[in-house]
Amino acid sequence: MAPITASRALGLPIGELSRLSGVNIETIRYYERIKLLAAPRRTEGGHRLYGRDDVRILAFIRRARELGFNLVEIRALLDLGGPGKASCGDVRKIATRHLHDIRAKMSDLGKLERLLSRTVARCTGKTAPDCPVLDVLDTARTPRPRGRSGIRPS
Amino acid sequence: MAPITASRALGLPIGELSRLSGVNIETIRYYERIKLLAAPRRTEGGHRLYGRDDVRILAFIRRARELGFNLVEIRALLDLGGPGKASCGDVRKIATRHLHDIRAKMSDLGKLERLLSRTVARCTGKTAPDCPVLDVLDTARTPRPRGRSGIRPS
DNA sequence: CTTGATCCTGTAGCGGCTACAGGATGCACG
DNA sequence: CGTGCATCCTGTAGCCGCTACAGGATCAAG
């Protein structure tokens, strides 16, 4: 139930904030726990009460997450855009590095896409003992350097 | 019994297997724990001893990981390519779906790259109160549907 | 006052590893 | 045969960014 008369003296409960910002309730509490978000005031019973600013901040965070910024970067962005009113140059630095990462990732994905689509194209779909996909995977190339390479989830 | 005997004769310790396959020692043990990899025989003292086949399998896994397959998919691929000698069609199905995912991700990254590069380009780098990057992030668009959307790490 | 929606804290789990701690083993060399 | 030390063992906890409970407490409408 959404009380239309919400924001009584600008006191949004967490569910309302969630709806307005597009951020999951559990995630909001998580952000508070890791101190990405300041702890809000509470009702006497202990329920969180947020203001309009919180909606903006959370929406900002959500958008930045959608753009692939991680929480460390977002924390930095929030600090920069915060009370100190730091330089746009610093923000640009973060964004530029991030852009660089994105381009690298796209290039990787591109290579991968070409390899995989070429391989799949060779597939007959029949029950064959020599499957091109498995073949490609089986050609273990460079046992590449000892690495903390980590390989991110797909 | 043909070449199996040969591979049994040489018993690779885990460190050797790691070097040959390019997979981290800890990761190999992890794969064993989650049963992606069969438990190998051991020395009397309890040290793992691997054969040549294990090098192939691990290299296969590593390569598939590099191509962005997740462990569930890899497990399926291993099963398919395994004793049952299943159809190439099944393998193709997995690979095709995966290819689809890759393309979707590339498209997303492309949009993101365009938005971010356009935005960064507008940056003066000066200490300005109105930073284009922060502006873009601040325009919270659709407070999109209640979601288990999750947004993957960058 | 009762209901039931919303909220609270705390903890555990996901994937795919990585990083220890605190020991046991294997093997070359003297 | 002893010694030293590289490698190995198990087990547990941590990383990120959430998500999903359990087991209650609170709030507001009727």
pLDDT at B86: 62
**pLDDT tens per residue, range B25-46:** 999 999 999 999 999 999 999 9
Residues in Cβ contact with B96 at an 8 Å cutoff, skipping those fewer than 6 apart:
A120
Report the residue count for chain A: 154
Assigned domain for B141 exists? no
Locate B93 and state its tokens.
Answer: 């199905």
Residue spans of alpha helices (H) in chain A: 14-21, 25-33, 52-66, 71-81, 88-121, 132-138
Helix-helix angle A88-121:A71-81, to 10 degrees: 150
Query: Among A114-123, B94-103, B129-138, which stretch is predicted with the lowest mean pLDDT?
Result: B129-138
| Statement to judge: residues A36 and A56 lie in one domain | yes
Taking the Cβ of residue B142 and every Cβ of chain A, the question of whether any pair is shorter than 8 Å is answered with yes
pLDDT band at A82 (very low <50, low <70, confident <90, very high): low
- Give the residue with greater pLDDT, A137 vs B96: B96
Locate B1 and state its tokens.
Answer: 């019994």
Tally the domains of chain B: 1
Binary contact (B154, A24; C-beta < 8 A): no
Last residue of a domain, one of A64, A85, A106: A85
| Statement to judge: residues A71 and A21 lie in one domain | yes
C-beta of residue A73 within 8 angstroms of C-beta of residue A94: yes
Locate B98 and state its tokens.
Answer: 């995966």
- Give the residue with greater pLDDT, A87 vs B65: B65
Assigned domain for B115 exists? no
- Residue A112: its chain B contacts at CB < 8 A? 67-68, 102
Q: Comparing C-alpha atoms, which of A96, A35, A31 is closest to residue A69?
A: A96
Provide the strand spans (E) within chain B. Answer: 41-42, 48-49
CATH number for the domain harbouring residue B60: 1.10.1660.10
Of the spans A111-120, B41-50, B70-79, which averages the highest pLDDT? B41-50
* Nearest protein residue, CA measured to C1' of D28: A3
Per the structure, the complete domain to which residue A29 belongs is given by 14-85
Gap between the Cα atoms of A38 and A49, Å rounded: 12
Assigned domain for A130 exists? no
| Statement to judge: residues A96 and A74 lie in one domain | no
The type of residue at A112 is L
